[in-house]
Structure 1
Amino acid sequence: MEFPRDFFVLDFLITLPCILLSQADVYSPQYGIENLDILPSRLTSVNMSNVFYGIMFDAGSTGTRIHIYSFIQKGLEHPQVDSEIFESVKPGLSAYVDDPEQGAETVRELLDVAKQTIPSTHWHSTPVVLKATAGLRLLPEQKAQALLLEVQELFEDSPFLVPDDCVSIMNGTYEGILAWITINFLTGHLYGAGENTVGILDLGGASTQITFLPQAESTLDSAPKDYISSFEMFNNFYKLYTHSYLGFGLKVARLAVLGALDAKVPSSFQSCYTEVMKVIQKKLDQQDEIKRRTFYAFSYYYDRAVDAGIIDVEKGGIIRVKDFEMKAIEVCENFSKATKGSPFLCMDLTYITALLKEGFGFHDNTELQLTKKVNNIETSWALGAAFHLIQSLRSTA
């Protein structure tokens, strides 16, 4: 599967100097987030610092998050992320399936944070976009669109720049690739040779993603065709292995396992593992190469590791896959003492263990880098999406 054209824009982010658009250009409807035919011929370099902003909403299954980025570019240097403001509300938009107006109000609450953070002089040139993920993908289309319409009207009433397609449901493949871009940009791996890149594992409430850059031809040959996405970025050509498994997020899987157990909680690790295997066995593609690669894991991988005391809440850490299993056994066998108000910890750790070992095929001793932030920036797809958004609508004075 060829990677969508709209991601080629990331190559221009690094290789082109500042793009100057007139104010009329910026407000023109043709410059939508999905339209790449916007790059003007008027290119110029500047010798002064340029600070600009972008607002990216992540409407996930368990909550809605706002990422407010400030970017800085000095002369012809590469644009850099200067800072990020991150806030979130719960529950997610999908919880308001029968009350879309109230769902939009939760977004308004976060939009007010952007107004307080971004100088009013930059409001009119700061784009705002909301991308919904698996939570809305699982809703009936009509109900999902009703929610998105309410949010779009909210954005249009705001003082921020509202591009076409400012509110949409994001394809799961995009989600994994954008997260891969974020991690490798923040860790500095996009500027060098491709073999130095790192893979990503993202575990949400309704879906899970795996993305990495294969180095073995056997991976490219054996992977399902729609798991390989090709694109060019930063003067390099990439063929990524990436897939989003809808229905394999932590909370959806939890419901599936609870159904199998007739909602009997707690259970022993072995009995829980047996039921979890019924949910994931032979349902995920396995590639031998991942056992030798470096992976960053975040979202619920991180959160549940913190809850279990495996990693520090602020610093994260490097752990082995079997650390999840050892902690799962401990928690399940000492349920009343170990959970401390988290009744699903036994089940969640068991599911993560099975997902990594039996689902993806990682070895017990495979190391994972669990991290919530890199250089004080949240590890999610949002930064990759913000790069795309900013370049599409870039305006410099």
Structure 2
Amino acid sequence: MKRPKLAGVFLFVGCLLAYLMFVKRHYTSTKPEAYRLPPHQLPAAAAAAAGRSFQYGIMFDAGSTGTRVHIFKFQTENKEAPTLAHETFRAIKPGLSAYADDPEKCTAGIVELLEVAKSSVPPSLWTITPVVLKATAGLRLLPGEKAKHLLDKVRALFLESPFLSRDDSVSIMDGTDEGISAWITVNFLTGEKSTLSVCVCVSVYCVCLSVCLSVCLSVCSYLGLGLMSARLAVLGGVDASPLGGSSELVSPCLAPEYSGRWEQADIVYTVRGQKAGEPVYEACLTKVEKVLYRKVMKASEAADVEFYAFSYYYDRAVDLGVIEEKTGGTIQLSDYTDAAKRVCSGLSVSPLQSPFLCLDLVYISVLLQELGFPPHKHFKLARTIHQVETSWALGATFHHIQSLKRH
């Protein structure tokens, strides 16, 4: 299995383990419902008398389709491990990468989200509340200089804000760190601190980390195999510039009569279906298998360990009606495969259905098979756990606050 930046990952995990083992003792006696309390504030005197204090952390998630802010309120009691008392969340569109050619235009959106943070954090705590922005897929795909100009603009806005900001408070997040932070979030919210063995599959990474007397780390991250990049590869395009100087892409994964426009990595493509010939599912399957050939390694934990899945695994399950959008649920790998066959076989141009649904489902089913998951494998799909979003944001905020304390 690929272990990118393995030495750095183990250093990160090593620093984390001592804290998590302490948290483990705390959470074995704490009910999950305590992770998100009603958004009320105890009077200062009462809180002090009870030995309670609060700390806040602000995390900006700059993704490819939008920028989201999470304001986390942590509660500590008698110097015990912190619990999550409340989360404030707000999202805006489009993503930062949309302003690649004019970074100044991102100002309004970032300022709007900073105002949300100011209204959520008591003014007396502004100067000691860290504000962080971590960019993911959207900025990873931009040319270096364009990404740098955007990050520099955000960094300047953070320094002008009343919150605690450092030079490293604005950055592009490494895929491995993204995976580990998501794992921390899920284990934090599920209370699985007795074994620390709940795994996650999010976008292009799967993470397992087990802690007993030894450490077993399994992280795999595949840049370029996220859903949007995978669509482009399956359609026959490449990142950064149109293939052969043309921006027209033809694919058997689209309805034969379909023609439309699609934007990816700052390029607008004309995409259309291939003329009827080989059955759509079989033709699309062959195309996807070629894209994924020898690109991923099988995960040894795939068959036996409990996995949570979110990101586009969740979104496509909602599109299929397998789970409710607000509540989530479970899905088998075979459900994705069966749905892919059904959708691709009945493919037609419909304003109510994404033209890429066939492609996405085939890709998901093949990717999970390549990772070693058996057809009967169940995945828990959750957008939130105890009303907190199952993203990497909580785990990354948690780690950032701990790093500030160490320094």
Calculate the TM-score normalised by the size of structure 2.
0.77
* Deviations 1:364-394 (CA, angstroms, capped at 9, x unpaired): 1011011111111111111111111122335
Check 1:117–1:273 CA distance in 2 against 1; reply closer, same or farther (3 A cut): same
Deviations along 1:278-318, whole A, 9 cap, x unmatched? Answer: 11122101134311221100111111111121111111111
Q: 1:360 to 1:104 in 2, by over 3 A?
A: farther
Aligned 1:71-110 pairs, distance under 5 A: 71-110=74-113
Partner of 2:198: 198
The CA distance in 1 between the partners of 2:94 and 2:331, in whole Å, is 30
Question: What residue in structure 2 maps to residue 184 of structure 1?
Answer: 187
Structure 1 residue 254 corresponds to structure 2 residue 223: no
Residues in 2 aligned to 1:119 and 1:365: alpha-carbon distance in whole angstroms: 49
Matched, 1:378 2:378: no
Which residue identity does 1:169 align to in structure 2?
I
Aligned to 1:295: 307
Q: What SS is found at the alignment partner of 1:266?
A: coil
Matches within 5 A, 1:167-182: 167-182=170-185
Aligned to 1:241: 218
Name the aligned partner's letter for residue 369 of structure 1: K
Picking from 273, 282, 286, the partner of 1:274 is 286
Paired position in structure 2 for 1:220: none
Q: Which has the higher contact order (CA 8 A, sep 6+)?
A: 1
* Structure 2 counterparts to residues 265-344 of structure 1, below 5 A: 265-266=254-255, 268-336=280-348, 340-344=352-356
Q: Which amino acid aligns with 2:199?
A: G
Output the amino acid matched with 2:231. Answer: R
1:290 match: secondary structure = coil
Q: CA RMSD in A?
A: 2.5
Cα distance between partner residues in 1 of 2:341 and 2:351: 12
Unaligned runs of at least 5 residues, structure 1: 18-44, 215-232
d(CA) in 1 for partners of 2:128, 2:213:
30
Q: In the aligned structure 2, how far is the partner of 1:263 from the partner of 1:275?
A: 9
Structure 1: which amino acid aligns with 2:291? V
Deviates more, 1:266-275 or 1:319-328: 266-275
Structure 2 gaps, min length 5: 1-5, 24-47, 238-248, 257-279
Q: Which moved more, 1:133-142 or 1:261-270?
A: 261-270
Check 1:169–1:323 CA distance in 2 against 1; reply closer, same or farther (3 A cut): same
The answer on 1:136 being equivalent to 2:139 is yes
2:16 match: 10
The alpha-carbon deviation at position 137 of structure 1 amounts to 1.9
Task: After superposition, give the CA deviation of every residue in 1:44-102 in whole Å (9 maximum; x if it has no partner).
Answer: x9961111110011112222211111100111332101121222222221222111111
**1:52/1:181 CA distance change after superposition, 3 Å:** same
The one-letter amino acid paired with 1:10 is L
Give the aligned partner of residue 226 of structure 1: none
- The 2-side partners of 1:127 and 1:154 are apart by 14
Residue type at the aligned position of 1:251: M
- Name the CA shift for 1:83/1:166 in 2 (closer, same or farther; >3 Å): same
Q: Secondary structure at 1:211's aligned position in 2? A: strand
Q: Conserved in 2, the CA contact under 8 Å of 1:339 and 1:345?
A: no
Cα distance in 2, alignment partners of residues 347 and 281 from structure 1: 16
Q: Supply the distance in 2 between the matched residues of 1:47 and 1:392 (Cα, whole angstroms).
A: 27
Q: 1:22 aligns to what?
A: none
Contact 1:53/1:70 (CA < 8 Å) preserved in 2?
yes
TM-score by length of 1: 0.79
Task: Identify if the C-alpha distance between structure 1 residues 16 and 308 changes in structure 2 by more than 3 Å, giving closer, same or farther.
Answer: closer
Conserved 8 A contact 1:13-1:79: no
Deviating 4+ runs (over 3 angstroms): 4-17, 336-339
2:33 paired residue number: none
The answer as to whether partners of 1:322 and 1:364 remain within 8 angstroms in 2 is yes
Q: Deviations over 1:203-243 (max 9, x none)?
A: 1xxxx1111137xxxxxxxxxxxxxxxxxx8x965321101
CA change 1:9–1:292 in 2 (3 A) is: closer
Deviations 1:135-185 (A, max 9, x none): 222222221111100000010111111133110111111111111111112
For the 8 Å contact 2:255–2:349, the answer to whether it is kept is no
Query: In structure 1, what residue type is equivalent to 2:171?
Result: S
Cα distance between partner residues in 2 of 1:11 and 1:213: 10
Counterpart residue type for residue 357 of structure 2:
L
Establish whether residue 393 from structure 1 lines up as the match of residue 393 from structure 2: no
2:207 matched residue in structure 1: 211
